[in-house]
């Protein structure tokens, strides 16, 4: 029976990979790539090599995947061909704005609310089996783990609004529309697109190996986010020695205040908009448990962020359906800062999970 199950698994896996002969771009692909790239940059060389070798199995059958970073988009690509894993991508938590009505949150079965926590737990458990898995199984579970950790850190994969306009829910912002620079988009897509922080015209192009400029942008932003996380979470958070504070302050000033996200020097009289990356990277809000890998904590964080940042204006008022914004508006710049923080946090936590799996396999 085990042989039959695995043979079937490999056939399905290879067929699904082979279907993607043409370029397929899913919303949020850039965000998933950045989360994966951050994790890889944080991994020790031996751990990174181990998981890169697992990911390479996909490249044998799907040449358009040239790295683990690129493979992070594959679970979204699959949605065009099968709905079998759709419930793995979300875990709905009702956000109720009854507005004086007698509305209540629905009572969901586990299957109705989504299976994202279970899918992550299964992926971790499967990958911890190491050589007891086939190459196809390992590649499948690794790709989903990388992708789902990213999904967990997009707040609208968790928070979903129920109000008189959406008595059956807004599907995590997918039915909630806003206008940005006079272009209509739904709230979920705007989050997936990182509040239009990055180029929107087909970015990133795949396969990445053929587009070095896109690779450089993903690697550069990943490095910037890692650097900012480094200063947000110093290695000695409880130290009261002012000499250490001086070292931290100097290093932060040099690398954040006087240096642009692309590594170039800040220039005298340089002009910025409030939406520019140099500005938004300075305004992160960090959770108190940056290294936690418990998905229950991630759900609480995602819901709280969705309620207070995604669905709420900076002045405390409710976000309105079809509300208009410019990219320089505070709602958008605050959203960009939050989303960049989530990318960095997701990458950091993914790296921690991968190191834990590696240690289990090699114990």
What is the pLDDT at residue 80?
Answer: 85
Q: How many CA atoms lie within 13 A of 344 on its CB side?
A: 26
Total residues belonging to the chain: 363
Give the number of C-alpha atoms closer than 13 A to the C-alpha of residue 99, restricted to the C-beta side. Answer: 11
Q: For residues 14 and 19, what is the distance between their CA atoms, to the nearest angstrom? A: 9
Report how far apart, in Å, the C-alpha atoms of 198 and of each of 28, 185, 217, 280, 308 are.
11, 16, 9, 13, 24
Candidates 141, 144, 110; CA nearest to 126 is: 141
Q: What are phi and psi of 165, to 5 degrees?
A: -75, -35
CATH, domain range 2-219+295-361: 1.10.575.10
Instruction: Please report, for the chain, the start and end positions of each structural domain, with discontinuous segments joined by +.
Output: 2-219+295-361
Looking at residue 20, its pLDDT comes to 43
Q: Which two tokens stand for residue 356?
A: 């834990």
Bridge partners, 254 (sequence order): none
Q: Please report the pLDDT score of residue 109 as a whole number.
A: 87
The per-residue pLDDT for 203 is 80
Closest CA relative to residue 292, chosen from 283, 282, 300, 303: 300
Interaxial angle between packed helices 295-305 and 135-152, expressed in degrees from 0 to 180 and rounded to the nearest 10: 40
Q: How many CA atoms lie within 13 A of 120 on its CB side?
A: 24
- Written as tens digits, the pLDDT of the chain (363 aa) is 233 334 344 444 444 444 443 333 333 789 999 999 999 999 999 999 999 999 988 877 776 788 899 999 999 988 888 999 999 999 999 999 999 999 999 999 888 899 999 999 999 999 999 999 999 999 999 999 999 999 999 999 999 999 999 999 999 999 999 999 999 999 999 999 999 988 777 788 888 888 999 999 999 999 988 877 665 555 555 565 767 667 766 776 776 677 776 678 888 888 887 656 666 555 444 455 677 889 999 999 999 999 999 999 988 899 999 999 999 898 998 899 889 889 988 999 999 999 999 999 998
**Among 101, 17, 353, 69, which Cα is nearest to 208's?**
69
Residue 204: predicted pLDDT: 87
Please report the pLDDT score of residue 6 as a whole number. Answer: 44
Specify the residue for token string 């396969």.
Answer: 207
- Match 């306009």 to its residue by tokens: 165
């Amino acid at each position: 029976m085990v042989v039959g199950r695995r043979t079937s698994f490999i056939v399905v896996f290879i067929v699904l990979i082979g279907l993607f002969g043409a370029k397929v771009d899913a919303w949020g692909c850039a965000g998933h790539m950045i989360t994966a790239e951050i994790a890889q940059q944080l991994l020790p060389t031996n751990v990174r090599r181990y998981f890169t070798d697992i990911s390479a199995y996909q490249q044998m059958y799907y040449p358009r995947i040239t790295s683990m970073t690129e493979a992070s988009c594959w679970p979204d690509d699959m949605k065009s061909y099968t709905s079998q894993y759709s419930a793995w991508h979300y875990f709905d938590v009702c956000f109720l704005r009854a507005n004086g009505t007698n509305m209540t949150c629905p009572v969901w079965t586990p299957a109705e609310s989504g299976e994202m926590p279970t899918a992550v737990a299964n992926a971790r458990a499967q990958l911890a089996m190491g050589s007891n898995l086939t190459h196809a199984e390992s590649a499948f579970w690794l790709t989903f783990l990388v992708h789902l950790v990213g999904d967990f850190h997009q707040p609208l994969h968790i928070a979903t609004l129920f109000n008189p306009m959406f008595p059956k829910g807004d599907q995590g912002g997918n039915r909630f529309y806003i206008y940005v620079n006079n272009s209509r988009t739904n709230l979920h897509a705007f989050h997936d697109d990182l509040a239009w922080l990055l180029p929107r015209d087909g970015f990133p192009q795949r396969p990445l190996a053929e587009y070095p400029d896109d690779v450089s942008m993903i690697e550069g932003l990943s490095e910037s986010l890692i650097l900012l996380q480094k200063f947000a979470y110093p290695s000695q958070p409880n130290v009261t020695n002012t000499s250490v504070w001086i070292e931290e302050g100097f290093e932060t000033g040099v690398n954040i205040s006087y240096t642009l996200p692309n590594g170039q020097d800040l220039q005298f009289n340089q002009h910025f908009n409030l939406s520019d990356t140099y500005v938004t990277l300075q305004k992160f809000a960090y959770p108190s448990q940056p290294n936690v890998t418990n998905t229950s904590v991630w759900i609480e964080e995602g819901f709280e962020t969705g309620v207070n940042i995604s669905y709420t204006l900076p002045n405390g008022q409710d976000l309105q359906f079809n509300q208009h914004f410019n990219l320089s508006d505070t709602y958008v710049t605050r959203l960009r800062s939050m989303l960049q923080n989530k990318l960095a946090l997701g990458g950091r936590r993914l790296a921690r999970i991968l190191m834990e799996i590696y240690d289990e396999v090699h114990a």
